[in-house]
Amino acid sequence: DTAVSQTPKYLVTQMGNDKSIKCEQNLGHDTMYWYKQDSKKFLKIMFSYNNKELIINETVPNRFSPKSPDKAHLNLHINSLELGDSAVYFCASSRRGEARAQYFGPGTRLTVL
Amino acid sequence: EDQVTQSPEALRLQEGESSSLNCSYTVSGLRGLFWYRQDPGKGPEFLFTLYSAGEEKEKERLKATLTKKESFLHITAPKPEDSATYLCAVQLRGGSQGNLIFGKGTKLSVKP
């Protein structure tokens, strides 16, 4: 009965490849997020998305694109991977509304060689 | 610029030695302040939400408080299982879709 799940947990790939990370939540939430945690453990928002609106952090390269097949899923596609993309990526979800707690998945550790 | 600063970066306590973690924030307008716990190799785990100055929340050995400039996470008589990184985050008024701005965390180690 996992609340927010991500696959894969580990992803090792070569520079220039295209990869995807999947995220699913069974909490009935209507807003989902992607965060990046760098090597210094700093957690930073990349995207937030509900069925009406996608908000992109302006610092995120356009090689990154979220895709949502339905309300329970928000996948992250990354094109032309670079060394600097190596990090841990977390998916999260929340109910829409003021100051709603976000619930995080277990993370995907991406290593680009 | 909206900013969240946590101190100290790391804190070592003996079991039973109470202490406090600090989260100071400079934001244009606060909608809510959140505390999370993160264990190595895992995602952040939600602990508390605080909405307005003067508010307090408690859970077991943890108590979070909020003023207009900062929040404290008080840990009373900690146990080794309280060892983790504690993250503070703020959500801004008018912020897009509830995006959180995180501090860099305080890594807490509790020795038996």
What mean pLDDT is reported for chain B? Answer: 93
Reduce the DSSP state of residue A52 to 3 states and report it.
coil
* CATH label of the domain that carries residue B63: 2.60.40.10
CB distance from B98 to chain A under 8 Å? yes
Q: Note down the domain range covering B27.
A: 3-98
Decide if B89 is inside a domain. Answer: yes
In a domain, B112, yes or no: no
Asked whether residue B105 is domain-assigned, the answer is no
Question: Are A106 and B43 inside 8 Å of each other by CB?
Answer: yes
Residue type, B87: L
Enumerate residue ranges in chain A where pLDDT < 50: none
Q: Please name the member of B87, B100, B104 whose beta carbon is closest to the beta carbon of A45.
A: B100
How many other CB atoms sit within 10 Å of the CB of residue A101?
Answer: 18
Residues B29-56 pLDDT 10s: 888 999 999 999 999 999 999 999 999 9
pLDDT confidence of residue A50: 83
Instruction: Using a pLDDT cut of 90, give the percent of chain B over it.
Output: 84
Residue B111 lies in a domain: no
pLDDT at B97: 55
Is A106's Cβ below 8 Å from some Cβ in B? Answer: yes
How sure is the predictor about B96, in pLDDT bands with cuts at 50, 70 and 90?
Answer: low
- Tokens 């600090």 map to which residue? B22
B16 or B95, which is more confident?
B16
Considering the domain boundaries, does residue B110 fall inside one?
no
Task: Show Cβ contacts of residue B12 under 8 Å, excluding neighbours closer than 6 positions.
Answer: B109, B110, B111
Q: A4-112 adopts what CATH topology?
A: Immunoglobulin-like (2.60.40)
Could you tell me the pLDDT band of residue B95, with boundaries at 50, 70 and 90?
low
Domain count, chain B: 1
With CA atoms as reference, the chain B residue closest to A54 would be B97
Say if B67 is an interface residue toward chain A (CB within 8 Å): no
pLDDT at res. B8: 97
Asked if A96 reaches chain B (Cβ–Cβ under 8 Å), the answer is yes
Does any domain span residue B54? yes
Size of interface A-B (CB pairs under 8 A): 64
What are residue B74's DSSP bridge partners? B20, B63
Closest CA to A81 of A6, A19, A35: A19
B28 pLDDT band (50/70/90 cuts)? confident
Domain boundaries, chain A: 4-112
